[in-house]
């Protein structure tokens, strides 16, 4: 169990961001509300920004592009950009494309990484930050709790 400090530093997986930005997933709305209030500091870097831009520009999201773009601008105002650099020793993720999320969380001294990715969730006990399902993080924030359980 980890403590969620005030102004929690959090990395949001791209799929989590798409659910929030393009689809306004009501289960994840506490995350958006928290970054708007300044209670949550989303972390990002060049690699993650490039990926979210590419995903939001995909033809499958064309009908939601205007809404997603406006929501992305709101998100970016709340973000802290983390410089590239050596994240230190981290476990290897099975999906090499997800390694950037672990590196960002480590470099940015994140309190949590919110993801639905099973390969990342399996690494929860091997990193110095919580890796949790976004719904769990959102529920924790919604009830004002300061304790988050890492993925099993």
Whole-angstrom distance, CA of residue 39 vs CA of residue 82: 18
Across the range 90-94, mean pLDDT stands at 88
Q: How confident is the model at residue 1 (pLDDT cuts 50, 70, 90)?
A: very low
pLDDT at 147 over 80: no
Q: How confident is the model at residue 144 (pLDDT cuts 50, 70, 90)?
A: low
Percent of the chain with pLDDT over 70: 91
2-148 to CATH, choices 3.50.50.60, 3.10.20.30, 3.40.190.10, 3.40.50.1010: 3.40.50.1010
pLDDT at 6: 74
Q: Which SS3 state, helix, strand or coil, does residue 152 take?
A: coil
Residue spans per domain, the chain: 2-148
């Amino acid at each position: 169990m980890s403590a969620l400090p005030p102004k929690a530093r959090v990395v949001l997986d791209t799929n989590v961001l798409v659910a929030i930005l393009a689809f306004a997933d009501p289960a994840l709305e506490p995350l958006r509300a928290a970054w708007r209030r300044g209670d949550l500091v989303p972390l990002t870097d060049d690699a993650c920004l490039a990926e979210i831009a590419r995903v939001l520009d995909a033809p499958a999201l064309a009908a939601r592009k205007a809404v997603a773009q406006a929501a992305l601008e709101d998100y970016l105002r709340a973000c802290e950009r983390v410089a590239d650099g050596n994240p230190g020793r981290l476990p290897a993720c099975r999906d090499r494309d997800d390694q950037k999320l672990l590196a960002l969380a480590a470099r940015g001294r994140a309190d949590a990484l919110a993801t639905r990715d099973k390969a990342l969730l399996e690494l929860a006990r091997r990193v110095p930050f919580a890796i949790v399902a976004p719904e769990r993080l959102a529920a924790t924030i919604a009830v004002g709790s300061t304790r988050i359980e890492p993925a099993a």
